[in-house]
Amino acid sequence: MLTFSVSGSLGSGPPSHVPLMSRPTISISTNQKDHLAAAKALTSHLSEWGITYGFIGGFAWSLLGSSRPTDISHFSNAP
């Protein structure tokens, strides 16, 4: 399972004049402790923003670039 973590502020982000080195960075980890820390931090922020549902972790990662069954047209000739 992969998760991501963000270092820096998760708010509205830094102003565009802030150098790239000062902006939040994203790293990918396979460490379970990192997964738990990222999940707790993300849950906290989502709760503050009133967002009750979200996909995190390997499930969301595996959806990237994959076709989803809900996107299949009823009119396609696919088996």
Structural domain includes residue 26: no
Q: How far, in Å, CA of 59 to CA of 79, rounded? A: 25
Nearest Cα to Cα of residue 31 among 64, 1, 62:
1
Domain that holds residue 37: 32-64
Structural domain includes residue 51: yes
Strands 25-29 vs 3-7: parallel, antiparallel or unpaired: antiparallel
**pTM for this predicted structure:** 0.37
Structural domain includes residue 16: no
Residue 43 CB-half CA count within 13 A? 7
**Percent residues over pLDDT 70 in the chain:** 29
Residues of the chain with pLDDT under 70: 1-29, 35, 54-79
